[in-house]
Amino acid sequence: HRTLILPQLGASGVSASRLKKMTGYAAKFGPVRAEDIPAYLSGNTTATPEMRRVQFGFVDRMKLVPMEFVPAAKSVGLFLLAAAILFGLTRTGIVFRQAWDGVWPVALAGAVAVLMGSCLTPLLLPLLPGRAFTLKGLFAGLVGAAMLILFVPVYRGSPFLGALSAISVPALSSYLAFLFTGSTTYTSPSGVKRELRTAWPLFLAGGGLS
């Protein structure tokens, strides 16, 4: 055969006429999804409208969650480990009980921020308010912070911890939600840059206040 079947989404980077001229192979752009290739071939390499449509439903987003969650969890985990050492550090060494008492409220706030920004925001993407991913993550983070303050007594009893959760959880959740833009099918580089210019000062302010 002298025909290559290429992914439809690769069409922007392939010149079919140039490929034919350089290699002698004709190019046909197949369906979006690899799972549709057998049906595409059996249909005499004719793609149906459904094969051409890019989907980004709940299951698609769920498959991408680990790509965002795992790196975020590792980074927050390393930060919490360092914080635990600082909380527990005494002249005689590290007191583990003291480290635990100091770090667990921070760890819980960090876990909520990661879950809201890296998991809940991608899964509920169409349902969260706003178009910007930072805004969607901010809203999810505010919900998470409110749940901490309302249902975990230590955050209500400590002005410091209450303020920490109210500031850091939405800020971190918003940042992690922003990172998900690279995994979606409908964000553009120009839109991402514009969103980052607006959100970056807020990320820095949230990090500084935390």
Give me the pLDDT at residue 208, please.
67
Are residue 106 and residue 82 in the same domain, yes or no?
yes
- Please tell me what DSSP assigns to residue 55: P
Q: Do 96 and 148 fall into the same domain?
A: yes
52 and 31 Cβ atoms separated by less than 8 Å = yes
Claim to verify: residue 115 and residue 36 sit in the same structural domain: no
Residues 34, 64, single domain; the answer is no
Same domain for 107 and 36: no
**Residue 210 confidence (pLDDT):** 61
Per-residue pLDDT of the chain (210 residues; tens, 9 = 90+): 788 888 887 887 888 899 899 999 998 888 888 888 899 888 888 888 888 888 888 998 999 999 999 999 999 999 999 999 999 998 888 899 999 999 999 999 999 999 999 999 999 999 999 988 999 999 999 999 999 999 999 998 899 899 989 999 999 999 999 989 877 777 777 777 777 787 777 777 766 666
Short-list 19, 3, 13, 7, CA closest to 47: 7
Classify 3 as helix, strand or coil. Answer: strand
The pLDDT value recorded for residue 35 is 87
One domain, residues 67 and 83 = yes
Residue ranges with strand state E in the chain: 3-6, 26-29, 89-90, 93-94
Give me the pLDDT at residue 209, please: 63
Structural domain range at position 40: 3-52
Question: 204 and 102, same structural domain?
Answer: yes
Q: Are 114 and 28 contained in the same domain? A: no
Instruction: Name 170's Cβ contacts closer than 8 Å, sequence gap at least 6.
Output: 113, 137, 138, 141, 142, 144, 145, 206
pLDDT at 91: 85
pLDDT at res. 52: 85
Same domain, 146 and 107: yes
Pair 69, 100 in one domain: yes
Question: What is the pLDDT at residue 66?
Answer: 95
Q: Are residues 65 and 39 in the same domain?
A: no
**Contacts for 73-82: CB closer than 8 Å, 24+ residues apart:** 73/114, 73/118, 76/110, 76/111, 76/113, 76/114, 76/172, 79/110, 80/106, 80/107, 80/110
Neighbour count for residue 135 (Cβ, 10 Å): 18
pTM of the model: 0.78
Domain count for the chain: 2
